[in-house]
Every structure is written in structure tokens, then in C-alpha cells.
Structure 1
């Protein structure tokens, strides 16, 4: 009996050593997985959203060494009581407003400040679309009606075989993908764990095999479609997204600080939601699109791409939000009004007729509640109309 006890103690000791060794070996992966599991918790969400690179792999998107683009000051806009209440209700962390290219309002909340590099979530999709438009104009990509497999051959035989670049730009690939952030078993959360554990986003996309519709016939918001755009760009150019976006879009804009992307274990940028910038720099992106792709004294994104991207070309249902090339249009479809938006309350709102750009960041854990998205746009319109 004593011998069995000694063997048992020894076995437990060996298992404990193995557990410690694995813990040390996989320390960073475990840390990132724990960060994913608590990313949106009430007590951590605000801090997390202003410091994503503290827990996840990341890569800089250099702003270059040029001067910061001039940002003139306009007449200060005062927030109405309704807007002030909205800021509180929606857990807004930053609000920046431009009128005719001038800064007319800037405020920060929840202990955050102007220097924070804030997570974009799906606002990042609009940045990637801009890069694709530049590369299309330069001839690196021949046509958006090319099949995605022309530039990303690893997708042959999978769910994306048969889809075109236009289809994925429009979120009309027909690929089955569960986007429910609140369901831990959903595809979007499985993808988050791939990112946290240093797995391959390309491999995750290539392994998708199910479709629900023929490409181009039905619209469904499928975030992995944006990663396919990344695979296309990398296949066409032989370069990674971060240096390309830096060279083609970020450096010409004269931003205040270098953004960064979250990445997978292979250093591939998490393009569908992993870009982090200052809120003033998000607003600069909106101003560039308000000005038809021109900013800081130069044409950065082709004007015809801006025009094509920001009108409803996707097969969305009547009465719902319109969708272009990774940009949104409000349900009532007012001309010259469009937006980039991300989960938990990230927005770049552009109202070209009124000359207004609004960038807002938030940590709104109730962003999916009935009517929240519509009311956010209503607030943006009231701010714009009051200037």
C-alpha cells in the first residue's frame, strides 16, 4: 500500500511538472485565450478597447515621418441634452465632429483620452476596401469580377470557389458563417479563438465548406468575406496588408499616430476588425471620403472607387440598411450619406450634403438591442443638422 502511495505521489508530481511546463510553453497563447474570454466583460471592455495590443499579437502600420495633416479649428459645437444622454446610455468613449473639414467638437469619456489607439472592429473593413480600390486603379488587380481563386488559389474546392471579388466586397458570397458574437460556439467566436491561439486565418477561411446561396444572389453579413479580400490583395501583390495600407493610404493621409493591426500567428493582419487608430484619425478617413478620396493635398483613393463603394450595390432586403463595397448606407437611403460601423458602437458617419463627418467610439454592450443602431444614426443626423 505504501509503495502504491509513493507511485501515486510521484505520478501527481510528474503531471504537475508537465502542467507547469505546458503553462510556460503556451503562456502567451493561454493569456490571449483568457483575454478573448473576458474581452467584452463589463469591468474590462473599456480598457481592452483602448489597448488591444497588450493581449494580442499585433503589427504596426507606420504613419511615416511626414508632418501631421493640418486640422483647422471651427466654431465649437455644444452637445444638446439629448446627445449628452446618448453619450451616457451608449457608453461612448470618444466623439469627434468635423464640419467643412474643421474640428468643431472633440470629447472623451470613461477615463479614455485623445491619444488612445481604439479598436475599429468592422470599421476596419472600409479601410481594406479603400486599399483594394487603389490597387485596382494601379492594375495589380485586373477586375472585381475576377474569381477570388484567381488571386487566392488555396480557396479552390472550398466554400468560396465560384465567388467573385465583387461578391465578397458586397457580402454576397453565399458562404455560411455564424456572426453571433454572443454565442461562444459561433463561427465568429471560433475565429476569435484561432486568432488568440496564434492559428492561421487563411487556413480557417480555406476550411469553410458550406454555402447557403449562389454567389451574388443573397446578402448576408459575413465578416470572413473581408479576410478573403485580404487574401486576394496579398495574392495579387505578394505583400502583407500592413505595409501596403501604410504606403497607399496611411502615410499620404498624414495621421497623428501610427495605427496597428492585430494579427494571427503568421503575422497576417486581422483585417475584418483589428485596426486601431486615434479617433481624430478615424475622422480624417471620413473627411477623405467626404472629399471623394482626396485629403492632405492629394488624391489618395480614386474618386470613382469612392463613388462605387458608397452606394447600395449589394442585394440587401428592401427596407434594410444598404451596403456597398464594405460601406453602409442608412435605411432611408439619403444621397451622400454613408458610414463605416463596427460592433459595440464604432462609427465613421459621413454626411456629404451638410459637410459633416462624425467619428465615435464606444464600449456599448447593448449595441444589438432593438433600435440602437437606428437611434445612433438619428443622433448623428441631429448633430450634423445642428451645426
Structure 2
């Protein structure tokens, strides 16, 4: 019995030592995985959304050495009567409102500040759309009707084999992808664990094999579609997204601070939702789109791309929000009104006829409840109309 006890003790000690060695060897991956599992918890979400670089691999999107672009202070504007209730209900952390290019409102909540670099989530898709328009205009891509495999040949034989660039821009790839954030085993959450454990997004995309309909036949929001656009840009230009976005978009906008991307294990930017930017700088991006791609006297994004990407073109269902090229439009489409949306309440809202840009960051854990999106758009419209 003593011999058996000694052997069991030795085995237990070896297991403990092995676990300790594994933790030391993989502690960064374990830390990131734990961060993913608690990312949206009520007591951590606000801090996490302003400090994603503490939990994940990241890469700067350099703002360059140029001056910060002017963001003139206009007269302080009164917000609508229900604004304060809306801020509390939607767990808003930052709001910047521009009217005719002047900042007329700026507030921060829940211990955040103007210097916080806030996670974009899917507002990053609208940034990538802007970059895509530049790359297309420069001639790196011949046609939106080219197959994605022309520029990303590793996708041949995958679920994306028959999809065109236009299909993917419009979220109409037909690829089967479960976007349920509340399901641990959904595709979107499996993808999150790939990021956390230092895997590669390209390999994840190349592993998708199922479609539910032929490309172009039906709109369905599939976040991984945006990663495919990133693969197309990288394949067409031979460059990485972070440096391209820096050169073509961020530096000309004169941001206050260099944004950063969350990346996968080989440094590829998480283009579908991994940008982290100050709220004022989100507003600068919106102002550029309000001005048809112009900012600081420079045409940053081609005007024809701004026009094409911000009008309904995808086959969305009746009674739902409309979609263009990685930009959203309201259910009751109004000329010159469009927005980028990210989960948990991130928005860049543009109302061109009224000269309004509203950048909002939030930590809204009820963002998927019925009517939340409608109430947010209603608030943005109230703000816009109150400033006339």
C-alpha cells in the first residue's frame, strides 16, 4: 500500500509540474482565452471595451507625424429631453456630435474619458469599405464582379468559391455562418477563440465549407465576409491592412492618436471588428463621409464610392434595416442618412441633409433586444432635428 501511495504521489506531482510548465508555456494564450470568456461580463465590459490591448495581440495603425486635424468647437447644444434616460438605458460611454463640422456636444460616462481608445466592433467594417473604395480606384482590383478567388486563391474549393466581391461587400455571400453571440459553439464565438489562442483568421475562413443559398440571392449578415474583403485587398495589393489603412485613411484624417487593430496569431488585422479608436476620431471619419469623401481639402475616399456604398443595394428582408457596401441605412430610407453599427452599441451616424455626425460608444449588454436599434436611430434623428 505504501508503494502504491508513493507512486500515486509521484504521478500527482508530475501532473502538477506538467500543468505548471503548460501554464508558463501557454500563459499568454490562456490569459487571452480567459479574457474572451469574461469580455462582456457586467463588471468588466466598460473597462474591457477601452482596454482591448491589455487582453489581445494588437498592431498600431500609425497616425503619422502630421498635425491633428481641426475639430472646431461650436456652440454647446442642448440634447433632447430623453437623452439622459437613453444614455443610462443603453449604457453609453461616449458621445460626440458634430454640426456642420463643428463639435457641439461631447460627453463621457462610466469613468471613461476622451483619451479612451474604444473598440469599434463592426463599425470597423465601414472603415474597411472606405479602404476598399480607395484600392479599387487605384486599379488594384479590376471589378466588383470578379470572384474573390481571383485575389484570394486560397479560398478556391471553400464556401466562398463562387462568391464575387460584390456579393461579399453586400453580405450576400450565401455562406453558412452562425452569428449568435450567446451560443458558446457559434461560428462567431469559435472565431473569437481562434483570435484568443493565436490562430489564424485566414485558416478559419478557409475552413468554411457550407453555403445555404447561391451567392447574391439573399442578404444575410455574415461577419466573416469582411475578413474575405481583407484577404482580397491583401492579395490585390501585396500589403497588410494596418499599413494601408494608416496611409490611405487615418493619416489624411489627422487623428489625435494612432488607432490599433486586434490581430490574429500571425499579425493579420481583425478587420471585421478589431479597430480601437477615440470617439472624436470616429466622428472625424463620419465627417469625411458626410463630405462625400473629402476632408481637410483632400479627396480621401472617391466620391463615387461613398455614394455607391451608402445606399441600399443588398437584398435585405422587408421591414429590416437596409444595407450597402458594409454600411447601413434606416428601414425608412432617407437620402443621405446612413450609419456604421457595432455590437453593444457602437455607431457612426451620418445625416448629410442636416449636416450631422454622431459618434457613439457603448457597453450595452441588451443591444440585441427588440426595438433597441430602432430607439437608437430615433434618438439620433431627434438630436439631428433639434439642432436645426
The TM-score, its normalising length taken from structure 2, stands at 0.99
Aligned to 1:102: 102
Gaps in structure 2 of 5+ consecutive residues? none
Aligned to 2:208: 208
Q: Deviations over 1:223-276 (max 9, x none)?
A: 000000000011111111000100011001101100000000010000000000
Aligned to 2:287: 287
Aligned to 2:165: 165
Q: Deviations over 1:207-235 (max 9, x none)?
A: 00000010000000000000000000111
3-state SS of the aligned residue for 2:82? Answer: helix
Q: Shift of the alpha carbon at 1:81?
A: 2.8
Aligned to 1:381: 381
3-state SS of the aligned residue for 1:81? Answer: coil
The TM-score, its normalising length taken from structure 1, stands at 0.99
3-state SS of the aligned residue for 1:359? Answer: strand
Detail structure 1 runs of 4+ shifted over 3 Å in the superposition.
none
Describe how 1:35-54 pairs up with structure 2 within 5 A.
Answer: 35-54=35-54
RMSD, aligned CA: 0.5
Q: Provide the rounded CA distance (Å) in 2 between the counterparts of 1:9 and 1:22.
A: 20
Aligned to 1:58: 58
Aligned to 2:227: 227
Q: Shift of the alpha carbon at 1:289?
A: 0.3
Q: Provide the rounded CA distance (Å) in 2 between the counterparts of 1:289 and 1:66.
A: 21
Q: Provide the rounded CA distance (Å) in 1 between the counterparts of 2:292 and 2:80.
A: 30
3-state SS of the aligned residue for 1:46? Answer: helix
- Confirm or deny that 1:81 pairs with 2:87: no
Q: Provide the rounded CA distance (Å) in 2 between the counterparts of 1:183 and 1:161.
A: 27
Aligned to 2:328: 328
Q: Shift of the alpha carbon at 1:36?
A: 0.2
Q: Provide the rounded CA distance (Å) in 1 between the counterparts of 2:347 and 2:324.
A: 16
Describe how 1:198-347 pairs up with structure 2 within 5 A.
Answer: 198-347=198-347
Aligned to 1:184: 184
Aligned to 1:137: 137
Q: Shift of the alpha carbon at 1:345?
A: 0.2
Q: Shift of the alpha carbon at 1:80?
A: 2.8
Gaps in structure 1 of 5+ consecutive residues? none
Q: Provide the rounded CA distance (Å) in 2 between the counterparts of 1:125 and 1:71.
A: 24
Q: Provide the rounded CA distance (Å) in 2 between the counterparts of 1:259 and 1:144.
A: 28
3-state SS of the aligned residue for 1:381? Answer: helix
Q: Provide the rounded CA distance (Å) in 1 between the counterparts of 2:386 and 2:202.
A: 46
Aligned to 2:118: 118
Aligned to 1:193: 193
Q: Shift of the alpha carbon at 1:317?
A: 1.2
Q: Provide the rounded CA distance (Å) in 2 between the counterparts of 1:138 and 1:130.
A: 13
Q: Provide the rounded CA distance (Å) in 1 between the counterparts of 2:317 and 2:79.
A: 35
Aligned to 2:364: 364
Aligned to 2:22: 22
Q: Shift of the alpha carbon at 1:111?
A: 0.4
Q: Deviations over 1:72-131 (max 9, x none)?
A: 111111223301110011000000000000000000000000000000000000000111
CA contact (8 A) 2:79 2:386 kept: no
Aligned to 1:11: 11
Q: Provide the rounded CA distance (Å) in 1 between the counterparts of 2:118 and 2:178.
A: 25
3-state SS of the aligned residue for 2:96? Answer: strand
3-state SS of the aligned residue for 1:289? Answer: helix
Q: Provide the rounded CA distance (Å) in 1 between the counterparts of 2:266 and 2:79.
A: 45
Q: Provide the rounded CA distance (Å) in 1 between the counterparts of 2:297 and 2:64.
A: 16
Aligned to 1:155: 155
3-state SS of the aligned residue for 1:192? Answer: helix
